Amino acid sequence: MADEKEVLVTKAGLAKLKEELTEYKEVRRKEVAQRLKEAIAYGDLSENSEYEEAKNEQAFVEGRIVELESMIKNAKIITDDKSGQDTVQIGTTVTVQNITENDDPETYTIVGSTEADPIEYKISNESPIGSAILGKTKNDIVKVKVPAGVFEYKILKIK
């Protein structure tokens, strides 16, 4: 894994990843070990569904720990200081309007893929809209290809 991908995160996002890693290492790992111990005590492992479930959960927990450690190791902090900027970058908050559908304007924060959360209006720099508006300026109109078709968005505000 020599060419691991850089993970773009904010300081808060990195803190969240570290918190999750601690949870998995210090809590979930111990819980799974206890479940395994109890399942083994039931005897005959060949027909022991509790044992199989605990082994599967252990594999998931260990896999997630490896994934989190890799993400943290390859994290690149996105600076939150975007004052005076006039182009859309990772970490900026941008208001766009779908002018094809004449929808109401929506405001998004552009974040790395690990922090994306559409419910909180945080979209990934790798998403169709996020990648289309990166590097653009206020009043630019961009075409965005999404599963529903091609839409035009106008950038109304960048902060």
Query: Residue 81: which pLDDT band, with cuts at 50, 70 and 90?
Result: low
Domain ranges in the chain are 7-77, 93-158
Would you tell me how many other CB atoms lie within 10 Å of the CB of residue 144?
19
Distance CA 43, CA 125 (A): 51
Q: Does domain 7-77 have CATH number 3.20.20.370?
A: no
Per-residue pLDDT for 83 more than 70? no
Range 84-113 average pLDDT: 88
Can you tell me the distance from the alpha carbon of 106 to that of 33, in angstroms, rounded to the nearest whole number?
Answer: 46
Higher pLDDT, 114 or 2: 114
Q: What confidence score (pLDDT) does residue 2 get?
A: 45
State the average pLDDT for the chain: 88
Condensed to tens digits (0 to 9), the pLDDT of residues 11-65 reads 888 898 999 999 999 999 999 999 999 888 887 777 788 888 999 999 999 999 9
Q: Which CATH fold would you assign to the domain 93-158?
A: Chitinase A; domain 3 (3.10.50)
> DSSP code of 117?
B
Contact 124, 134 (CB under 8 A): no
Closest listed residue to residue 74, CA positions, set 19, 112, 28, 109: 112
Instruction: Give start and end residues of each alpha helix (H) in the chain.
Output: 11-23, 29-41, 49-73, 128-133
- CB-CB contact of 153 with 123 (8 Å): no
pTM for this model (two decimals): 0.66
By the 10 Å C-beta count (0-12 exposed, 13-18 middle, 19+ buried), 143 is classed as exposed
138 falls in which pLDDT band (50, 70, 90)?
Answer: very high
